[in-house]
Amino acid sequence: MSTGASLDDIFEVITLTVMRKQYKTERNQERTASTRNDLEDALLDTKMNEELRSRVETLLLETELLPDDGEVLKRGEFIAGYRKFLKIIVQMNSDNQGRCMDARLSTIQAA
């Protein structure tokens, strides 16, 4: 956003990047193993509430934690990209004490 890129430009880049992605079986297996490790590590947290703990334990019983459907994975990638975008916006807002964000929001609302 500080480069002057419009929201349309930013989302086009995110969309094109996601659409080009290829999902290989080996990478899916690595991601699944990593996710399983993260969930197992989460269970070590003694402060985790019981409902969440139960959900994590149920997930760990699944043989396939992550989908292997490319379209589903692309949707997840798009959501992750959007989430990163929102984090950047929040960081910009706090770094600039709202001045930069207020000006950009005014521009967006005027459009």
List per-residue pLDDT tens for the chain, 111 residues long: 566 778 888 888 888 888 888 888 888 889 899 999 999 999 999 999 999 999 999 999 998 888 888 888 889 888 988 888 888 888 877 766 555 555 666 666 554
Whether 44 and 54 share a structural domain? yes
Whether 74 and 110 share a structural domain? yes
Number of domains into which the chain is organized: 2
Q: Which residues of 11-40 are buried (b: 16+ CB within 10 A; e: fewer)?
A: eeebeeebeeeebeeeebeeebeeeeeeee
pLDDT of residue 53: 94
pTM passes above 0.85: no
Candidates 60, 75, 94; CA nearest to 18 is: 75
User: What's the Rg (C-alpha) of the chain?
Assistant: 19
- Phi and psi, residue 10, nearest 5°: -65, -45
Whether 53 and 83 share a structural domain? no
Tell me which residue range forms the domain holding 48.
24-67
Structure tokens at 52: 């969440």
Whether 19 and 72 share a structural domain? yes
Q: Which residues of 69-79 are buried (b: 16+ CB within 10 A; e: fewer)?
A: eeeebbeebbe
Whether 62 and 72 share a structural domain? no
